[in-house]
Amino acid sequence: MILSMKSLLLRTSVSTSQIRGAFVKALEILGVSKDEIVHVSAHTCYDLMPASELGIRTVLVDRGYSEEWGVKVSSLEELALMLNRLPR
């Protein structure tokens, strides 16, 4: 995968506290609690970790990057089948 310098700068210039703040704002805008959502991503560092730190349930979509995570699926079809079984 080739990333542009602009993409790299955007990724590295955002702190995890800013990302956590974005999750808090999204919950506020949507009018839901953290217990009512599941955050799904293929990236642990900038997506799943900040959400998990806030107590939001998270699922890693494994795209072959060899990342470890608590709940992991290999496809969106698998995600759909297991969503109701996620621990709260």
Q: 């470890």: which residue's tokens?
A: 68
Tell me, what's the pLDDT at 3?
A: 44
Cα 57 to Cα 23: distance, rounded to the nearest angstrom: 12
Output the pLDDT for position 80: 86
Q: What are the tens digits of pLDDT across the range 24-71?
A: 999 999 999 999 999 999 888 878 999 999 999 999 998 887 778 888
Q: Domains of the chain (ranges plus CATH)?
A: 15-85 (3.40.50.1000)
Q: Are strands 72-73 and 57-61 parallel, antiparallel or unpaired?
A: parallel
Instruction: Supply φ then ψ for residue 54, to 5 degrees.
Output: -90, 0
Task: Look up the pTM and report it.
Answer: 0.73
Q: Is the per-residue pLDDT at 85 higher than 80?
A: no
